[in-house]
Amino acid sequence: MTEAEIFDVIIIGAGPAGMTSAIYAARSNLKTLLLDRGIYGGQMNNTAEIENYPGYESILGPDLSQKMYDGVEKFGADYRYGTVQTINDLGTVKEVITDEGTYQAGAVILATGAEHRKIGIPGEEEYGGRGVSYCAVCDGNFFKNKDIAVVGGGDSAVEEGIYLANLGRSVTIIHRRDQLRAQKILQDRAFANDKIHFIWNADVKEIIGDGKAVTEITYRDKQTDEIKSVPASGIFIYVGVLPMTDAFKSLGVLDNNGWIISNPEDMTTSVPGVFAVGDARKKDLRQIANAVGEGAVAGKGVFDYLQSLP
């Protein structure tokens, strides 16, 4: 059996929270491993324009990802691919098992974030990649001058709906309530945009296509109980997020819904040497700015924790 490679700290997830932790840990001279199952950036790679991250009036998600990663590289954190499957708590040593190999460290920072939730209606799976999308910045361009539907009513739905209105002929935002949950500034922009229309109190039922591509989405009008339809070539779904925390079940740090419980003061969990940051935590606001702040706290906290070990 080959021996596991040993680090001071292993950070799981290279979104903004994990990358900031890596910058702080590596800059404190800790031997730092940053693991991700894919390209660094996390959800920022699926985000069009970011207007609420200080220092940038407006920046594309993938551009901000690259700028953060430049810092990770500069301070010498080791970035590798690997899907983490489980973590074994061996006391002062944590063993991280991935599909690419096993690593050990004195501390770990869990930064695996969250992912889009599916609605679970007929046609959603079948037309995935053929009209159904969860990422406007990735797929919006396929629907230039076409009719687009967006399902959802929160920040992501409205923000990405505004972005899609720059590309499509029309954008219809279909929401299950009679008012949006999105921030007021986004609502005002969407209401002022001639290309954006709204359907309220709608329970989406089915995504229909011609076998090759999406042609419409149907919904039940909750006020009249009628089934109605919106013609669309692209359906973008933003109905919430799920924590990416299955790999941490055995650590006993999750709540009943799978969110990680970590102390908002210092990002520690109930397991000594295990910290958690970013969207995977149980918290109210899931944004880049607080993911970064939490990453800084944990990056520094790990240094203090390792110093305190006998």
Q: Which residues bind ligand FAD (CB under 6 A)?
A: 12-18, 35-38, 42-44, 46-47, 50, 52-53, 83-84, 111-114, 156, 159-160, 244, 247, 278-279, 286-289, 291
Cβ of residue 138: shortest distance to ligand FAD, in angstroms?
10
Question: Is the Cβ of residue 54 or residue 91 nearer to ligand FAD in the bound state?
Answer: 54
What is the DSSP secondary-structure string of 229-252?
Answer: EEE-SEEEE---EEE--GGGGGGT
Judge contact between 19 and 13, C-beta under 8 A.
no
Q: Report, in Å, the least distance between residue 211 CB and ligand FAD.
A: 29
Nearer to ligand FAD by C-beta: 157 or 199? Answer: 157
Tokens 């949950």, located at residue:
181
Of 137 and 230, which has the nearer Cβ to ligand FAD? 137
Q: 157 or 202: whose CB is closer to ligand FAD?
A: 157
Output the smallest distance, CB 210 to ligand FAD, in A.
Answer: 28
Cβ proximity to ligand FAD: between 42 and 209 the closer is 42
Shortest distance (Å) from residue 308 CB to ligand FAD: 26
3-state secondary structure of 138: helix
**Catalytic pick among 78, 89, 139, 266:** 139
Cα–Cα distance measured from residue 26 to residue 77, given in angstroms and rounded to the nearest whole number? 6
**Catalytic choice (138, 203, 221, 266):** 138
Q: Has 70 been annotated as catalytic?
A: no
Instruction: Report how far residue 22's alpha carbon sits from residue 47's, in angstroms, rounded to the nearest whole number.
Output: 22
Give residues with Cβ within 8 angstroms of 76, minimum separation 6: 26, 32
**Rounded CA gap, 19 and 35, in Å?**
10
Does residue 246 carry a catalytic annotation?
Answer: no
Give the closest residue to 15 by CA, choosing from 37, 257, 251, 269. Answer: 37
Options 8, 36, 135, 279, the catalytic residue: 135
| 77-104 burial: b if 16+ Cβ within 10 Å, else e | bbbeebebeebebeeeebbbbbeeebbb
CB of 178 to ligand FAD, least distance (A): 23
Residue 304: active-site member: no
The residue count for the chain: 310
Residues tagged active-site: 135, 138-139
